[in-house]
Structure 1
Amino acid sequence: MPNAGAPKSGVVLLDTRARTPDHEHAVHLKLADGLARLLGCPHVQPSHPPVATDGYYYLPTETLVDPKRHAALGICSEQDLFGGLVAHPYMATKAISHPLPAGASFPPGWTDAFARQASDALLRGYTVFSKADARSAAQLLLTDGPLRIKPVLACAGRGQQVITTADELEPLLADMDDQDLALWGLVLEEDLSEVQTFSVGQVRVAGLTCSYHGTQQLTRDHQGTEVYGGSDLVVVRGDYQALLQLPLDEPLRLAINQAMAYEQAAEQHFPGFIASRRNYDIARGVNPQGHLRSGVLEQSWRLGGASSAELLALQAFADDPALQRVRASTHEVFGTPELPADATLFYQGNDSELGQLSKFARIREHDHSE
C-alpha cells in the first residue's frame, strides 16, 4: 500500500488541453470534489499559478510529460496526482506497445527494451515514427494477412483502418503530418477478429489501493452511432495479486497477468514514470492464421471513462475498512433517462456537441468476505 504522504492543501484540476467539452469538464470537476473528500482537503481553483510549496494534489486531464517541468508544481510522486507522468511524449500513448522495425528512426528516449521485456503481453506489430518506416513495417506484417493502422492519439478505436495491401497504406500516410508522426508515432498491428476486450486497472489514492477487471459497454448517440456507453468493474481492495485471488476464467486471468507484465516493463524501462491511476485494454481474438491471440492494446495513465466508478469504489473502501470487494459501474446515456435510485450523477444536460446526455456511476454488490 502506498504511504498516504503529507496532507494536501487542496485538489486542483489541471486541464492541459486546448479545449475540453462541457460534459467532460463537468465530470472532471465532480471527480476533483470526490478526490478532495478522500484526501480530506478542499477542491480549489488557485488565483495564482501553482508552485511546489502550495502542497496541492492535482487531477490532470492528460498523462503529463516532462518530470522536471512538473516538479515545479510539486508533482514528484504518485501521491501528488491522480494520473501519470512520463519523460517523453510517445510514452503516454499506445506507441509503447510494439517494437520498431529493424533500422527504423526513433525519438529521444526510445527503448526497444520495453517491448522485449513485455513481448509475451503484446500482439504482433510495429511502432514507427516516419512514413518510410511505416511502409517497411506494413510489408513485414502484410505477408501474414490484414493489418490494422492505429493513430496513437485517437481514443476508443477512432481513426483506425484495416488494410490488406501496401497500396491501401498510401492515402492514409498522405493525411499524416511528418512532424507529428516523428513526435508521437504510429502503430501497425495484426488485425484480430472475434475480439473480446478486457479492462484491467489499479488506482492508489490517500493510502488506499484498489484493483479491478471490467468490461466496456457501447450505446448509440443521437446520430445512431455506436459509442462508449460505460464500464462495469469488479473492484477489490489491494493490488493485482488480490485481484488474482478471485475465481477467474483463464482468458481473464491471462489478461490480468499480461497487464501486470506490461506495467512492470514500463516501471523498469521508463525513467521518471509514476502513476496513481493505471488502466490497460487487453484484446483477445483470432489472427489471420486462425490462431487465438491475447495482448495489451494500450495503457491509460490518466483519468478515463471508468474513473467515476474507480472513485466511488475508493470512497466505499475508505468508508468501510471491512469491505473487500464491490461492483462499480459508469453509464453514459443519450437522452434523459430515469436514473436508478443508487446513481451518483456526474453530468446531465444538453452538451453543445453531443446533445442531451447523462453520465452517472453506481456501486453495488458489497462483499465483506476475506
Structure 2
Amino acid sequence: MDGTRFSPLTDHAQGSQPATAGQTAPNPRATTALALYFSRLGAPMYVHERVTLFAVAESIARLTGYRNAGVFDANEPSPGHVFFVPDDTLMLGEARELGIHSPCQLYGAVVPYPFAKTKAITHQLINTHATRPHGWSTVFAQNVSNVVLPGYTAFNIDDARAAAMRLLPLGALRAKEPLGDGGHGQAVINTITELDVFLENLPTEKITRHGLVLEANLRRATTRTVGYTMIGDRSIAYHGTQRSVINNHGVSVYGGSHLICVRGAWTELERLPMDAEARLAVTQARTYDRNANEYPGFLASCRNYDVGQGVDAHGQWRSGVFEASWRSGGASTAELAALTAFAADSSLRVVDANSVKHFGKPRKPPPGAAVHFCGNDPEDGPLMRYTVITRALRHAG
C-alpha cells in the first residue's frame, strides 16, 4: 500500500455526486483496498456498535472484492486508492486530507461543518437575529421547512425559550440534543418550567456548540426510514419502518429497521407500490436530500432519512423528516444484505431486509440470519444484533 500503514482487523470488541470543479473523479476500479477510519469528531461508540462497524466493513469488502486492510492510520498519507468506511460523517478538510473527492471513495458522507452532520440543520432559527454557527445555511432550513415538523433550532438559552414560547400553543414539544441518536438525549416538554428544568441539566457550552432542536411532539408515532445507498457501480433505494424496544435500562430506544429495497435509485423506488403514508415519506425525504447540496462540499454515498408520522397534541396528523443519517448506522447491515442479495442474483427485483437489535437474554436468531454481536456490552448490557432477509421478489418471467 505504498508505505501506508494499517492496523490489522483482529479483536472486534476492542475496537452520485460529480467531482469538485478542477478535480478528476477517482476511478473506483483503481481501488484495491478498503479501510475502516475513525474520524476526529466521531461520536463515542458502544462496543456492539464498534463490532457491527467492523462487520459492515467486512460486508463491503466481500461485495466489492477490495482487500480488507483493517483500520487506517491517519498519521500516514493516503495512497489515493483506498475505499473508506468511516465511523461518522467526515468533515470536508479531513476528507480532503484522505484524498476523498467523490462518493465513490467511501461508505458515508462529507460535510463542511460539524453541525451540518446533525439534526440541528433540520429546522429554522427563531428569527434573523438568532445566534448561529459559522456556515449556517438559512436557505437549506427554508427549503425543507415544508417537509419537516413545526420546530426551531436554537444555539443559546434565550433563543430556546423564545422558540418554546412560540411552539407550546401547538401543544407539547420535544427537545432534542443534536448529537443524540437512537432515542437518546430527548425529552417531551409541556411547559416553559419543564423546559427550564431541562436546560438546567444541559451545559450551556453544549447548546452553544451543538444547538438544541425543539419541535412538535407526535403521539402514536411511526418512524419511517427512506434512503439511497451506492457502493461502486451498485446502488439500492429503500423505504421501511423502524422499531422501538426497551433496553436493559428500561428506556425506549431504536431496535432495528425493516427495509423494502429495490435495485437502482430514487426513480426505481418511486415506481414501487406503497401506501400513501409511505409515499409521502419518500417525497419528503427526497426534498430534504436534494437540498443538502446547499452545504458546500457535501457528498454522500449513504443517504438515510428518518421521517416521523403521528398525531400532534390537537389531534392533527403530521408527517415530517426528523433527521438525516449520512453514515454507517442501524440500518446499514440491512442495506448491505440487500446489496449483496442483488449482486448474487440478477433476477431479484425487490428485497426485504431486517436489522434487529434485541436486548436482554439471548435468543435463537431466525434461520438465515447473520449475527453481528451476541454478548454483554459493558455499557449497554446483554444484547444481540443480527440481520436477515425476509422476502425476495424476482422479475416476472
Structure 1 and Structure 2 fold alike (TM over 0.5): yes
2:321 matched to which residue of 1? 296
- Corresponding residue SS for 2:83: strand
- Flag the 1:13–1:322 CA change in 2: closer, same or farther, 3 A: same
2:67 matched to which residue of 1? 42
- Corresponding residue SS for 2:209: helix
Q: Say whether the 8 Å CA contact 2:184–2:253 is kept in structure 1.
A: no
- Flag the 1:241–1:164 CA change in 2: closer, same or farther, 3 A: same
- Corresponding residue SS for 1:141: helix
Shift of 1:179: 2.9
Amino acid of the residue matched to residue 275 of structure 1? A
1:128 matched to which residue of 2? 154
- Corresponding residue SS for 1:100: coil
Tell me whether 1:139 sits opposite 2:165 in the alignment.
yes
Structure 1 unaligned segments of length 5 or more: list them: none
- Flag the 1:35–1:168 CA change in 2: closer, same or farther, 3 A: same
- Corresponding residue SS for 1:359: strand
Q: Deviations over 1:102-140 (max 9, x none)?
A: 120100110111122112211111111111111111111
Q: Deviations over 1:198-234 (max 9, x none)?
A: 1111110021110111112233434454433221111
Q: Report matched runs for 1:1-370 at 5 Å.
A: 5-16=28-39, 17=42, 19-45=44-70, 46=72, 49-65=75-91, 67-102=92-127, 103-267=129-293, 269-334=294-359, 335-369=361-395
CA distance in 2, matches of 1:37, 1:31: 10
Per mean C-alpha deviation after superposition, the further-off stretch among 23-32 and 298-307 is: 23-32
- Flag the 1:18–1:273 CA change in 2: closer, same or farther, 3 A: closer
Q: Deviations over 1:165-216 (max 9, x none)?
A: 2222212222223333222111111122221211111110021110111112
Alpha carbon RMSD of aligned pairs, Å? 1.9
Q: Say whether the 8 Å CA contact 2:43–2:88 is kept in structure 1.
A: no
- For normalisation by structure 2, the TM-score amounts to 0.87
Shift of 1:50: 4.2
Shift of 1:306: 0.9
- Flag the 1:227–1:286 CA change in 2: closer, same or farther, 3 A: closer
- Corresponding residue SS for 2:28: coil
Shift of 1:31: 1.0
- Corresponding residue SS for 2:307: strand
Shift of 1:143: 2.7
Amino acid of the residue matched to residue 272 of structure 1? G
Q: Deviations over 1:67-123 (max 9, x none)?
A: 123211122111111111100111111111110011201001101111221122111
Amino acid of the residue matched to residue 232 of structure 2? A
Q: Say whether the 8 Å CA contact 1:52–1:71 is kept in structure 2.
A: no
Shift of 1:47: 6.0
CA distance in 2, matches of 1:261, 1:18: 27
Per mean C-alpha deviation after superposition, the further-off stretch among 314-323 and 26-35 is: 314-323
- Flag the 1:54–1:237 CA change in 2: closer, same or farther, 3 A: same
Q: Say whether the 8 Å CA contact 1:52–1:75 is kept in structure 2.
A: no
CA distance in 2, matches of 1:100, 1:11: 40
CA distance in 2, matches of 1:118, 1:47: 38
Q: Say whether the 8 Å CA contact 2:35–2:57 is kept in structure 1.
A: yes
- Flag the 1:36–1:22 CA change in 2: closer, same or farther, 3 A: same
Q: Say whether the 8 Å CA contact 1:34–1:311 is kept in structure 2.
A: yes
Amino acid of the residue matched to residue 186 of structure 1? L
Amino acid of the residue matched to residue 286 of structure 2? M
Q: Deviations over 1:257-284 (max 9, x none)?
A: 00000111112x1111111111111111
CA distance in 2, matches of 1:56, 1:261: 32
